[in-house]
Amino acid sequence: MSSEKGFKKHSESSSHIKAMVMWTERDRRKETGASISTLLNDTVLERNRKYMRIVAEIIIFLAVNELPYRGEYLI
């Protein structure tokens, strides 16, 4: 009995409702063949690509120079 109350409480929570909305949107995009990139305008998409390019360059620099990704650099 108590698990039924817990499920009901969870199904009415804001986090569950938000997740269900996102799931429904995903199914709708899957049916229509639309992707997230088609929903974003070109400016946002280009900014995100630039950001990812910079992050990748930093990771490559750290790897090539054998530097840690976080924490203190110890000699």
pLDDT in tens, 15-32: 999 999 988 888 887 777
> In the prediction, which pLDDT does 72 show?
65
Residues 2 and 19 in one domain: yes
Compute the average pLDDT of residues 31-59.
81
DSSP H helical ranges for 1-75: 2-11, 14-32, 36-39, 42-64
Question: Is residue 4 within 8 Å of 12, Cβ to Cβ?
Answer: no
Residues 44 and 73 in one domain: yes
Q: How many structural domains are present in the chain?
A: 2
Q: Which domain holds residue 65?
A: 40-75
> In the prediction, which pLDDT does 36 show?
64
Compute the average pLDDT of residues 55-72.
87
> In the prediction, which pLDDT does 74 show?
57
User: CB count, 10 Å around CB of 40?
Assistant: 13
Q: What is the CA radius of gyration of the chain?
A: 21
Residues 26 and 54 in one domain: no
pLDDT band at 59 (very low <50, low <70, confident <90, very high): very high
- Give CA–CA dist 42/53, Å, rounded: 16
Residues 47 and 17 in one domain: no
